[in-house]
Chain A
Amino acid sequence: MTSVVDRPRRAAARFWIVGLLGWLLSQPASALAPIQSWTTDTGVRVLLVSTPDLPIVDVRVVFDAGAARDGDTPGLARFTSGLLFDGAGTLDAQAVASGFERLGAQYGASAERDMAVVSLRSLADEPLLGSAIDLLSTVLTEPQFPEAAVARGRRQLQVALAQEREQPAQIASRAFYQAAYRSHPYASWPNGEPDALALLTREAAQRFHGRYYVARNAVVALVGDLDRAAAQALVQRLIGQLPAGEPAPALGPVLPLADGVSERLRHPSAQTHIVLGGPVLTRDDPDYFPLVVGNHVLGGSGLVSRVSNVIREQRGLAYSAYSYFMPMRQEGPFVMGLQTRGDQAGEAIALLRQTLDEFIAEGPSDEELEAAQRNLTGGFPLRLDSNREIVEYLAMMGFYRLPLDWLDRYVARVSAVTAEQVQDAFARRVDPERLVLIQVGGDRAVGGQ
């Protein structure tokens, strides 16, 4: 299964981020303490779950400020997010970092396509928690984007973009999103483009922050050792100073692919990285449960899924072979993927296609569907067994405006899916003639260099 291969601590940990992320975003969680929710007077939506067992508080502030908001400045959302902690109020980057770290607090900022997330984990004890919240408030409301940090950020990004070119997985993902999303904002590569770095300026970051890091574009998720009254006070302290602003405008829908696309990119790697898929699933999609439960049978449940069985267990063609849906605000991708020795790529693609065709034509067997439902419903408590997981679900639910009973209804809705519904949903929503196929690498013969 997986091996722990020794690495220096800071070297990239390469487990299945893609699959894992798809799984996280598609799999909900367990019976938990009640979710409380309210909207502040400036328009921030707040979701809270009180878990008094450990003296910890987790906070996630989510803005509709992901790479889908890059506009004509590729990389701007992630660039802005990456600079938030590099100077705020009267504090420089060193003072901000040491402010959190002397408290033992953990903090960070990230931006994917839909969401920009700022997170904090602190001990619940005072004055530790209050000090960390005050500092985070300064970071959110008064980032300075100092010229020196902006210039350094651009130079570091240049290095990161060069490193992407070493990695067939990154090259394949970038090519997939460009081909699948074309002129839609989801085509913007979150890390940006090497020839557009000059656009990443202090003014651009300030403008982006001013437009999108505002109350009416924000959701706060809180989990931990605090009750509603304490949470309300804490939220006020955290985002009371955030201007109300405006919500981000609605993103346009993704146009369906008119035809299939096949692209093959050279790379001197031993393996060919294969990605096959297209835009399909929104967070509030009426086909959400048939597609996600169906995908559990197809390629979403590790070794016991059809894709893994055909590619890995029966033929030993790949270490990782999977499929997932990544539901997003607009049509997020359905992706099938694997990596295999270059001379096996053709065989693997044919098998991947055949597995998908059969699944669309016949749907799951009753036994397969039942097994998937037993795994998803029986495993429900596992998905919410830590504060960290709960806060991620709350942030997701708040961001996508899912009803507060979404988790409570999850088991019943998974159980209600029928094989006919799965087959029907896949047949309507996944057209095997209109998918994007990306192949990268496999140019180096194994045994040679």
Chain B
Amino acid sequence: MIRILGALLLAAVSLRPAVATPDPADTHEQTLGNGLKVIVREDHRAPVVVTQVWYKVGSSYEPGGLTGASHVLEHMMFKGTERLAPNEFSRIIAENGGEENAFTGTDYTAYFQTLAADRLEVSFRLEADRMRNLRLDGAEFAKEIEVVKEERRLRTDDNPKALLYEQFNAVAYLAHPYRNPVIGWEDDLDTLTVDDLKTWYARWYQPANATVVVVGDVEPQKVFALARRHFGGLSGDPVPPPKRQMEPPQRGQRRLELKAPAEVPYLLMGYHVPSATADAEAWEPYALEVLAGVLDGGNSARLARELQRGQEVAASVGAGYRAFQRAPGLFLLEGTPARGHTVEELEKALLEQIGTLAREPVSAEELERVKAQVVAADVFQRDSVFYQAMRIGLLETIGGGWRVGEDYVRRIRAVTAEQVQQVVLRYLGEDKLTVGVLRPQPGALPPRRPAVIPGGRHDIGG
């Protein structure tokens, strides 16, 4: 999902030269009396509507000991309200021909339904209900927390790269809660209670802390009327924003190693950098986006050209940056060494790439390529009503508002080669770097599979 989101955000924002521009006039917003914001974008290509409800809460809102609470609460949002039995929400959406799910990140918790356009009211009725009337039953919690623990095993504990990434964040961030894993530390999940969730729900699930985004074959005024009918009567309290938590400046490189049952080593490197909504000169996040494109914007970009093909020091390699989050983030480099090369050689080769970028401005050709890709991707993403809603919801939720997105392509196009060099010099210094290495444990994995054993339903074991 994050990968998609990354592409979305790179793609996200608009400005079109030759081709038709999405008209910002097609996007409308209204704030209800209780503080709930409703944003509607018309897209009449198919008789379909997507509804997303975004709450300003996620893992970076969580204090120590409560990591994972936002995500577990997301699971419990399907487990019944004063009116609905557990899973009845999902059953109603399914019977109306809909698709639905939810996702949690560092800065948000969001819920969505996709339906035929004439069924919009179904999702409004259900989302309004669970915004204020969630039941949070102890027996349901006891089962669901086990589901979440299985999710953690699947995504993180049994996945060496994900495990490295989890610990990497906790080293790269000393104080800022971006160090928290979204799914929560294992022991925090063990001690989490349904009462913790009741408190969390009461604090954050308020109309004034939510944004409803609707994109599809709808008329905005009718959507607003429907929103007033279903959400307008919800009572709520003002929600004070979370306390500011600043990461102290990094004063020297940090390193970590993770031993895991793996076959292949893996390298993760990250530099602290500003985000689009943080307190930085406005062009910097856009220069960092261009930098990520210069390094990893396709198979002709520098990392593939120099490290995968040229030196052939990497079997796979990548760079990543997310401009749109509520606090400063990381510029990431990651890769798997090619056969016959070590993770140390790969690290050295990546640092040489950063060194080159610090010494020499990127070429006009590279800059044009990245900009052409951003312009095209901005059109491509309009093929999906879901991603259009994602972009609006995310930008509203992290602060700054959806209009920031409308300006994205223009700001990318304004980036110069000198600015790319400047962000490298300013932020990608060795004292600002965290390096994580996955060290495979030799012999931890069993030999290749044995032959097939016939045996009906009987468990042969092995």
Contact = CB atoms under 8 A, between A and B. Distances in A.
Interface of A: 1-15, 30, 51, 53-56, 85, 93-94, 97-98, 100-106, 121-125, 128, 152, 155-156, 158-160, 162-163, 165-168, 171, 174-175, 178-179, 194, 259-271, 301-304, 309, 312-320, 339-341, 346, 353, 371, 374-382, 384-388, 433, 437, 439, 441, 446
B134 to A, nearest CB: 15
A432 to B, nearest CB: 8
Nearest to A123: B376
A30 B301 CA distance: 38
12 contacts: A106-B376, A125-B19, A165-B445, A178-B452, A265-B446, A265-B450, A267-B446, A268-B446, A316-B145, A375-B98, A386-B383, A446-B153
B20 A101 contact: no
B456 A433 contact: yes
B435 interface: no
A54 B455 contact: no
B454 A4 contact: no
Given A15-B1, A262-B457, A379-B97, A339 B150 contact: yes
B264 interface: yes
Given A166-B160, A262-B459, A386-B383, A319 B19 contact: no
Contact of B91 (A7, A155, A163, A304): A304
A108 B306 CA distance: 20
A262 B377 CA distance: 47
Nearest to A195: B448
B1 A371 contact: no
B170 to A, nearest CB: 12
Contact of B372 (A104, A124, A163, A259): A104
Contacts of B143: 313-316
A303 B144 CA distance: 13
Contacts of A160: 315
B320 interface: yes
Nearest to B143: A316
Contact of A6 (B47, B90, B106, B372): B106
A5 B185 CA distance: 12
Contacts of A339: 150, 153-154
Interface string B294-316: 00111111001100110010011
Given A30-B46, A155-B338, A270 B153 contact: yes
Contacts of A315: 143
A9 B3 contact: yes
A156, A262, A437: which has the most chain B beta carbons within 10 Å?
Answer: A262
Contacts of A266: 446, 462
Given A12-B161, A381-B48, A446-B153, A174 B2 contact: no
Nearest to A443: B446
A37 B263 CA distance: 48
B254 to A, nearest CB: 17
Given A55-B379, A93-B299, A319-B150, A264 B461 contact: yes
A1 B144 CA distance: 10
A133 to B, nearest CB: 15
B87 interface: yes
Contact of B74 (A1, A264, A441): A1
B245 to A, nearest CB: 17
Given A152-B308, A267-B446, 8 more contacts: A10-B316, A14-B155, A54-B382, A54-B383, A94-B309, A264-B459, A319-B150, A437-B457
Given A104-B376, A261-B455, A340-B150, A175 B20 contact: no
B97 A380 contact: yes
Given A101-B300, A166-B262, A271-B158, A2 B102 contact: yes
A171 B385 CA distance: 36
B369 interface: yes
B41 to A, nearest CB: 14
Count chain A CB atoms within 10 A of each CB in B96, B374, B449 and give the residue with the most.
B449
Query: 6 shortest A-B CB distances, which residue pairs?
Result: A378-B97, A104-B376, A10-B318, A9-B320, A316-B146, A97-B300
Given A101-B300, A378-B116, A8 B157 contact: no
Interface in B307-355: 308-309, 312, 315-321, 332, 334, 336, 338-340
B169 interface: yes
B418 interface: no
A153 to B, nearest CB: 11
A264 B373 CA distance: 47
Q: Tell me which of A53, A98, A166, A175 has the highest count of chain B C-beta atoms within 10 A of its own C-beta.
A: A166
A9 B334 CA distance: 9
Nearest to A122: B376
Contacts of A1: 74-75, 78, 101-103
A371 B116 contact: no
B165 A11 contact: yes
B339 A8 contact: no
B25 interface: no
B243 interface: no
B375 interface: yes
Contacts of A105: 376
B390 to A, nearest CB: 11
Nearest to A15: B1
Contacts of B232: none
Contacts of A302: 90, 94
A270 B318 contact: no
A263 B453 contact: yes
Nearest to A163: B264
Contact of A375 (B95, B151, B169, B444): B95
B444 to A, nearest CB: 6
Contacts of A380: 97
A115 to B, nearest CB: 22
Given A8-B165, A13-B1, A379 B151 contact: no
A385 B385 contact: yes
B449 A265 contact: yes
Contact of A262 (B71, B338, B460): B460
A380 B98 CA distance: 9
B244 interface: no
B405 interface: no
Interface string B45-84: 1111000000000000000000000010011001000000
A122 B377 CA distance: 9
